[in-house]
Amino acid sequence: MLGTVSVTNIAAMAFTAVVTVLIPIAAFIILNKKVKCKQTCLLVGVGTFIVCALILESIVNYAVSRFLGETLRENIWVYALYGGLAAGLFEETGRYISMKLFMKKDLTKQNALMYGIGYGGAEAVIVGTMTYVSNIAVSVLINIGQFEPMLAELDKATKAQVIEQYSALWNLPAYEFLLAGLERASAFVLQLCFTYIIYRAVKNKKPAFYVLSVFMHFAVDAGTVLLLKKAMLVSVAVELILVAVTAVLATVIYKQYKAEKEEVPENREPLTTQ
């Protein structure tokens, strides 16, 4: 049976939807104001996320789920390790290739950050904002009694599956939806960190940085799932661990970024602080 989605849950979803779109916008404005960088690098980042994470990774994930079937759904170790490895390989390889192909003449640390804002921003808006806008729309339809009639044409099993899919909207407490906003913020910062590591791999011609980025991406994604499903930690504890890991990595990356001597690209003006 359908429940009623509380006003606090809808408000929490709306807050998360707004936050996840404001974070990349704010990051873009701040970076664009503080340093001289190419805005087209942001579009390269957006395109890379859409092609590699949304399209190619999704196609492979679908094929693997069809092949592994019950093993992937029921064995949390297989699910976590495969999911983390797929995300790490597709996203970091996509970053590496797109930087080599489309940023050859513009490979500076500032442009790498602009690329990262595009990549992480696309993920934040598509995975975060659009998901929660959709959830809010469904919540409103449920509360005004218009959602169940939309399921009338479905068979009993499919209808039950759809209701189960959306049951979190009325079953979860509001703070869970607020935590999702915190998770999206952490994910955005992590995408900036991974982007900088890949930038160093391309610029310094050091494949070890690429391997490091893949491993770290894998560890974060797989570790998050295992902490939730295997260690049975509450979501608040998992999010706090994720925030702590993100803060440590971001601190290290920031120090590396500040310590790096900026090279002026050929035929371009020096990138200077305004």
By C-alpha distance, which of 188, 203, 194, 198 is closest to 127? 188
The span from the first CA to the last CA of the chain, in angstroms, equals 59
CA pair distance 57, 87, nearest whole angstrom:
7
Position 272 scores a pLDDT of 43
Taking only the tens place, the pLDDT of each residue in 43-84 is 999 999 999 999 999 999 999 988 887 888 889 999 999 999
Position 72 scores a pLDDT of 84
List Cβ neighbours of 161 (8 Å cut-off, separation of 6 or more). Answer: none
Structure tokens of 248? 């440590």
Q: Where are the alpha helices (DSSP H) in 103-173?
A: 109-123, 130-143, 147-150, 156-166, 168-171
Taking only the tens place, the pLDDT of each residue in 234-258 is 899 999 999 999 999 999 999 999 9
Position 264 scores a pLDDT of 54
Position 269 scores a pLDDT of 43
By C-alpha distance, which of 96, 107, 87 is closest to 48? 96
Tens digit of each residue's pLDDT, the chain (274 residues): 788 999 999 999 999 999 999 999 999 999 999 988 999 999 999 999 999 999 999 999 999 988 887 888 889 999 999 999 999 999 999 999 999 999 988 999 999 999 999 999 999 999 999 999 999 999 999 999 999 898 888 888 899 999 999 999 999 999 999 999 999 999 999 999 999 999 999 999 999 999 999 999 999 999 999 999 887 888 999 999 999 999 999 999 999 999 988 665 544 444 444 3
Buried b (16+ CB within 10 A) or exposed e, 160-190: eeebeebeebeebebeebbbbbbbbbbbbbb
pTM of the model: 0.91
